[in-house]
A and B are shown apart, each in its own frame.
Chain A
């Protein structure tokens, strides 16, 4: 499903303040795995996740998602991959504040050619699967942290992507809500989803099938 071969990333390349964020990272994730990437702050785990999510590029190596090499491809193709193959969940939820929950969930569907009524059905189904169908028409800035993260997860899965990437999904939540969110991820994993969670929390990481530890940009 995901193959990372000798990925390196340098910030401010060629300048006096150049910084190597990732150094020769290699790993793979099979279909249906629940993997966590752990490390201390500044280890490079978020940088790695952003590369996996196709919102950042890398300087050396190769990254394959579903056997497609993510290198030197068009912006249009990258956008399609982000839309159809990847679902991204972020620490601060990344919801559009003045949109309702269902409007947020429909964002990945908005720029497809499906009929609007079909899109709404899909969005409702996604909200239902995360227990948020009753809050579909609530403004996202009126939801609690846990509800926001559920909405973000619904958006991440609405297009049935190949992989779900989560960057510190429980970082802004209390422990009880964090547990609920992890249960949700496990439920999705049981449904066959491939999930990669970036976290600094070892307890969260321990709930995953496999842990990849990063320190100073290298896999430990």
Chain B
């Protein structure tokens, strides 16, 4: 096999200009594929973790702390625990919610405004926002310290830092040590807060792209269960994104009754999940349909260029293959040399595309393109590789098996 690889490499070197162009072409296809698949995946990334909720019978609700009551004296009559909310409704199966944390930070004895959110364990387990460093919060109730993930900030807070956060409940405020375990990437989507309703309602309502630069104050994300287990636990009212799942046996009328009830309990918006899911799927599929013409054009380009470049290359190499045959190779082994050339070219293109994607990802160009690495990218790469190898072997196979070495040498 070493001899075949060496022969394939030598043959590639002989036609270096054309092979470099082919390599660049395939590499461009890889890079564009990464960008397109990433663009599709980023949308599914936010839909998939809660897909079973979206597809089920239920409601998406938005709770607002300010709307629990217009009376400032009763502002603390909030619902914290989802079990408590469930007790008011027509037997929902499950509720997952975000919670508002009344808190502020103390930095160098100065009071600093922060935005505090906590999540039910199920949200933490199902979805992890993009982090620029560190890790996501855990649902480990035995953790030795309160964990938080923080957004970009001007306080110099970094992974591993212990900061002082004053957390409030209805009666008291307690200063607590909080360990920063991760830093959110700027503009990453986090569950909760209030997304603007643009066009039809989709799963995007569940998320909010948090920008420290825009908001002006750092966001801290906590585990609801970790905070709820503390002595003098802080107040964590159900707030913003809330998903309520009902059994299929609960009727639409009963659900409407629950909607009316919750509107008196701080819920400022609610919508049927089935409608939300339909809109979500339309939104996701529309994106794929928008990309489909590009994918088709790319594939056509790959096919045409693969066939023509491999045909040209094989035609030039036929005489060499005849010489290899005369000196002791089997005619079909020349196919192997041709195949190895295609494999070497695609490996080179793959390496080059990895470098390009790394440059895109880790430089300012990443502001223009979202790049994610996941199994769908790998499947796409594998698909393109197999497709290219098959297409690039069609003409050589036809040409090599339609002629004999003797015919080539005696021409």
Residue A155 lies at the interface, judged by CB distance under 8 Å to chain B: yes
Contact-size category for A: 20 to 34
Given the known inter-chain contacts A95-B323, A96-B320, A98-B14, please indicate yes or no for A111 contacting B406, CB distance below 8 A.
no
**Docked pose: A110 CA to B326 CA in angstroms:** 13
A39 CB contacts on chain B under 8 angstroms? none
Given the known inter-chain contacts A46-B410, A96-B320, please indicate yes or no for A111 contacting B3, CB distance below 8 A.
yes
Which one of B323, B324, B326 has the highest number of Cβ atoms from chain A below 10 Å of its Cβ?
A: B326
**Docked pose: A56 CA to B408 CA in angstroms:** 12
Given the known inter-chain contacts A50-B406, A110-B6, A110-B7, please indicate yes or no for A83 contacting B330, CB distance below 8 A.
no
Residue B76 lies at the interface, judged by CB distance under 8 Å to chain A: no
**Docked pose: A156 CA to B405 CA in angstroms:** 17
Report yes or no: A110 in contact with B323, Cβ–Cβ below 8 A: no
9-residue interface stretch from A74-82, A127-135, A187-195:
A74-82
Given the known inter-chain contacts A55-B405, A56-B406, A99-B10, please indicate yes or no for A108 contacting B323, CB distance below 8 A.
no
Residue B44 lies at the interface, judged by CB distance under 8 Å to chain A: no
Given the known inter-chain contacts A98-B14, A99-B10, please indicate yes or no for A107 contacting B332, CB distance below 8 A.
no
1-55 of chain B: CB within 8 A of chain A: 3-4, 6-7, 10, 14
B7 CB contacts on chain A under 8 angstroms? 110
B327 CB contacts on chain A under 8 angstroms? 82-83, 88, 107-108, 155
**A71-108 CB contact bits vs B (8 Å, 1 = yes)?**
00001101110111000101010111011000100011
A76 to chain B, nearest CB (A): 6
Residue A53 lies at the interface, judged by CB distance under 8 Å to chain B: yes
**Docked pose: A46 CA to B409 CA in angstroms:** 12
B14 CB contacts on chain A under 8 angstroms? 98
B410 CB contacts on chain A under 8 angstroms? 46, 50
A80 to chain B, nearest CB (A): 7
**B320-347 CB contact bits vs A (8 Å, 1 = yes)?**
1011111111111100000000000000
Q: Which residue of A lies closest to B331 (CB)?
A: A75
A84 CB contacts on chain B under 8 angstroms? 328
Which one of B6, B323, B327, B332 has the highest number of Cβ atoms from chain A below 10 Å of its Cβ?
A: B327
Contact-size category for B: 20 to 34
**Docked pose: A96 CA to B318 CA in angstroms:** 11
**A150-188 CB contact bits vs B (8 Å, 1 = yes)?**
000001000000000000000000000000000000000
**Docked pose: A76 CA to B333 CA in angstroms:** 10
Report yes or no: B332 in contact with A82, Cβ–Cβ below 8 A: no
A96 CB contacts on chain B under 8 angstroms? 320, 323
Report yes or no: B329 in contact with A111, Cβ–Cβ below 8 A: yes
**Docked pose: A19 CA to B58 CA in angstroms:** 84
Report yes or no: B406 in contact with A108, Cβ–Cβ below 8 A: no
**Docked pose: A110 CA to B9 CA in angstroms:** 13
Report yes or no: A79 in contact with B409, Cβ–Cβ below 8 A: no
Report yes or no: B326 in contact with A75, Cβ–Cβ below 8 A: no
**Docked pose: A53 CA to B409 CA in angstroms:** 13
Report yes or no: A94 in contact with B409, Cβ–Cβ below 8 A: yes
**A106-118 CB contact bits vs B (8 Å, 1 = yes)?**
0110110000000
B325 CB contacts on chain A under 8 angstroms? 55, 79, 82
268-327 of chain B: CB within 8 A of chain A: 320, 322-327
Report yes or no: A82 in contact with B326, Cβ–Cβ below 8 A: yes
B11 to chain A, nearest CB (A): 9
8 Å CB contact of B330 from A53, A56, A75, A110: A75
8 Å CB contact of A79 from B3, B322, B323, B328: B328
Report yes or no: A94 in contact with B406, Cβ–Cβ below 8 A: no
**Docked pose: A83 CA to B409 CA in angstroms:** 17
Q: Which residue of B lies closest to A76 (CB)?
A: B330
Report yes or no: B326 in contact with A79, Cβ–Cβ below 8 A: no
**Docked pose: A88 CA to B329 CA in angstroms:** 14
Report yes or no: B328 in contact with A80, Cβ–Cβ below 8 A: yes
Report yes or no: B328 in contact with A111, Cβ–Cβ below 8 A: yes
Given the known inter-chain contacts A110-B6, A111-B3, please indicate yes or no for A79 contacting B405, CB distance below 8 A.
no
Q: Which residue of A lies closest to B323 (CB)?
A: A94
Given contacts A75-B330, A94-B326, A95-B323, 9 further A-B contacts (CB under 8 A): A46-B410, A55-B325, A55-B404, A75-B332, A90-B409, A94-B322, A94-B409, A107-B327, A110-B6
Cβ-closest 5 pairs across A and B: A83-B328, A108-B327, A98-B14, A107-B327, A110-B3
A-B contact pairs, 30 of them (CB 8 A): A55-B404, A55-B405, A55-B406, A56-B404, A56-B406, A75-B331, A75-B332, A79-B330, A79-B333, A80-B328, A82-B325, A82-B326, A82-B327, A83-B327, A83-B328, A88-B326, A88-B327, A90-B326, A92-B409, A94-B322, A94-B323, A94-B326, A94-B409, A96-B320, A98-B14, A99-B10, A110-B7, A111-B3, A111-B4, A111-B329
B-contacting residues of A (Cβ < 8 Å)? 46, 50, 53, 55-56, 75-76, 78-80, 82-84, 88, 90, 92, 94-96, 98-99, 103, 107-108, 110-111, 155
